[in-house]
Chains A and B, each alone.
Chain A
Amino acid sequence: DAGVTQSPTHLIKTRGQQVTLRCSPKSGHDTVSWYQQALGQGPQFIFQYYEEEERQRGNFPDRFSGHQFPNYSSELNVNALLLGDSALYLCASSGPAQGVETQYFGPGTRLLVL
């Protein structure tokens, strides 16, 4: 049973560019959440997708957007990259939605913005 997978594992971009990160949830899960973890900090919630819609959003600017596909996989897009966007981006999946489910995390994508 495959766990949560994310791609790519590492990414280097320059300021102003755009990036797309991808996540495939654990089998049987229908909800995907994204988190940003800066170095030495705890993860910060970006948003959560369920039934292809953004269900909840954290305190992140509109430069951060996402999408969920019919197969429950998800993408995180970040536009106009800033140096401060350098972080580990974690995807978590949960479900099936029957209340508050435990979130299981993928290995993350390390993004470096130069």
Chain B
Amino acid sequence: AQKVTQAQTEISVVEKEDVTLDCVYETRDTTYYLFWYKQPPSGELVFLIRRNSFDEQNEISGRYSWNFQKSTSSFNFTITASQVVDSAVYFCALIAGGTSYGKLTFGQGTILTVHP
């Protein structure tokens, strides 16, 4: 079975602060895929990034960066110089191989509030 844990339920920061959202995953499969989604108040899940288990290269996209470490089963997400528009619920998710082929397993989500 697969599991995703986002230990931080809520995070509150002031604009321009850096913030890191933690994600720890569990799977017995050697091939798996990790995702981050953003859910603003409107409810729609917005895809942010995807990482394959065989590619541990970290990625930076503007103010967003992701740190994937297989040794600790973590896939953390950092927002640099946060903005009010970053306020949302962020979900980490996993698709593992085998019978869970198309099933996304989500964490509980982290509510990020950025204050002006």
Contacts and interface: CB of A to CB of B under 8 A. Distances in A.
Interface residues of A, number: 26
A45 B44 CA distance: 16
A33 B104 contact: yes
B50 A102 contact: yes
Contacts of A24: none
A97 B98 CA distance: 16
A43 B104 contact: yes
Given A35-B104, A42-B108, A105 B50 contact: no
A48 interface: yes
Contact of A45 (B91, B103, B107): B103
A111 to B, nearest CB: 12
B12 to A, nearest CB: 17
Contacts of B4: 42
Interface residues of B, number: 26
Nearest to A4: B44
A3 B33 CA distance: 23
Given A41-B108, A42-B107, A42-B108, A105 B102 contact: no
Nearest to B45: A105
A78 B6 CA distance: 30
A41 B6 CA distance: 11
Interface in A86-114: 88, 90, 92, 94, 100, 102-108, 110
B44 A105 contact: yes
Contacts of B24: none
25 contacts: A31-B102, A33-B104, A41-B109, A42-B106, A42-B109, A43-B104, A43-B106, A45-B104, A48-B103, A55-B101, A55-B102, A88-B43, A90-B43, A90-B45, A92-B104, A100-B33, A102-B35, A103-B47, A103-B102, A104-B47, A105-B44, A105-B46, A107-B42, A107-B43, A108-B43
